[in-house]
Structure 1
Amino acid sequence: MMELVYQPHDLLWVNQLANDELTPAWFHLKDLISRPVVVRRAPYEADRIAVGIRGFNRSQRHASFVTSQAVFRHITPEQLVEKQSWHTQQQTHPLPHWQTLTQIDRIFRSFDLSWGITGSLAFELATAVETANQQSDIDLRILAPTTLDKRVASELAKELSTLQQRPDVQIETPLGAFALSEWVHTSGSVMIKSNQGPFLTQNPWQTDSD
């Protein structure tokens, strides 16, 4: 049976952490039941999933690890889009971001592209805990296991730039993630954020050894 691979930004509900580390004062193990951890980029270790623990404000972040056995629930950024729960969140916690997500969804559908929500908006949509605010960024990702045509990407970026709230879009490839805005505005190399650290490449889908 193939081991399930979690992508950066996936949300995991777990019943314990992988190591007996010294956790910050604002974190309590009982919080894990209601507050998922976020998969982060880090070098691969056997059955140790690198995650980040979120607190109640931006300064409260803690890097940790969990095992696959500890995971009892898993939501991807793309599944959050499928649920479309920002419509109900608008009723309980009004923010302009929710209406913007409706506009973004329309744009992505017109390009027939799958997209996901990450960051504080994703955390709030997944938990109903009011973690987003007026200053929150709209962080998105596009899963692109194969090459995304640059002309299509440029048209998409142009459409998104017309929105009053401009999203920050990362394109996730097998090598790592890079910014849509950087890619469409440069003819040279782009910065890839990988599990081994950042690196520059002219082809985000191909290693130098390929």
Structure 2
Amino acid sequence: MRECAAAPFPAACATSCDARWRPHDLLRLRRLDSCAEEPAWVRDAFERAPYGVVRRALAAEGFVSIGVRGAQRAQRYGTWVHADDIVSAVSPESLAQTQPDAGRDALPSFVALISLQRDPSGPLARFVWGPTGSTGFELATHMPTVSESSDLDLLIRVPDRLALNVASALLEQLRTLSTRTGVRIDAQLETPAGGVALAEWAAGKARVLARHASGPRLIADPWASVAQDGTT
């Protein structure tokens, strides 16, 4: 997160994450408390689309860590909201078959998404998945967010070990689609240890970067490490 508010609670109280909401869920909010140090664009962005995306950061009980999106790529702001101010939540997988608004389907990221949606035996058929980033945000909020240069960001839920050969085949299929549609496709695996880039896991690296609310860490196996130390 490029800019972040000061936590509205003592740092020692930031010990958990509310399991009702997961990273990349989009939360519709009743209000967003203002902070003296917040960027000028935040109020306008929230008035246009009163949503925040759940981010990987610990919070005190009763709070949820979110990010606010601005109109420009560089406008990202991390903060916390009261759980009582959450009206509803939209998960990435609930958007997997959602269609873009009229006149928006020719944008490259939507072209790639629609291709995935229309192929029942395609690369993601065996997975629970959904769009995140600007594509997911626009589908959930109906606010024009996607541009000609937007990537297609995907979240793929993999609670059980993903074999390297399966990961490699999935990555190759997505790269083929990327080449055909002219849009970069960035797929993240949601594992028990946190978010792991599909490209890193498929490469068979000795250790991969797992992004977790308690901080990123390099681990050999995003599934075995959880079984061993109980981390969630």
Structure 2 portions without partners, runs of 5+: 1-17
Alpha carbons 1:90, 1:98 under 8 Å: kept = no
Q: Judging changes above 3 Å, is the alpha-carbon distance between structure 1 residues 29 and 4 closer, same or farther for their aligned structure 2 residues?
A: farther
Q: Is residue 75 of structure 2 the alignment partner of residue 63 of structure 1? A: no
Q: Deviations over 1:63-88 (max 9, x none)?
A: 11112211112101111113x213xx
Q: Judging changes above 3 Å, is the alpha-carbon distance between structure 1 residues 191 and 92 closer, same or farther for their aligned structure 2 residues?
A: closer
Deviation above 6 Å: which 4+ runs of structure 1?
Answer: none
1:34 equivalent among 49, 65, 69: 49
TM-score of the aligned structures, taking structure 1 as reference length: 0.87
Deviation at 1:32, TM superposition (A): 4.8
Aligned counterpart, 1:149: 163
How many residues end up aligned between the 2 structures? 203
Identity score, percent? 34
Deviation at 1:50, TM superposition (A): 0.3
Distance in 1 (CA, whole Å) between partners of 2:113 and 2:64 is 29
Q: Is residue 149 of structure 2 the alignment partner of residue 127 of structure 1? A: no
Aligned counterpart, 1:183: 201
Structure 1 portions without partners, runs of 5+: none
Aligned counterpart, 1:209: 229
Q: Judging changes above 3 Å, is the alpha-carbon distance between structure 1 residues 133 and 28 closer, same or farther for their aligned structure 2 residues?
A: same
Q: Which amino acid aligns with 1:113?
A: F
Aligned counterpart, 2:130: 116
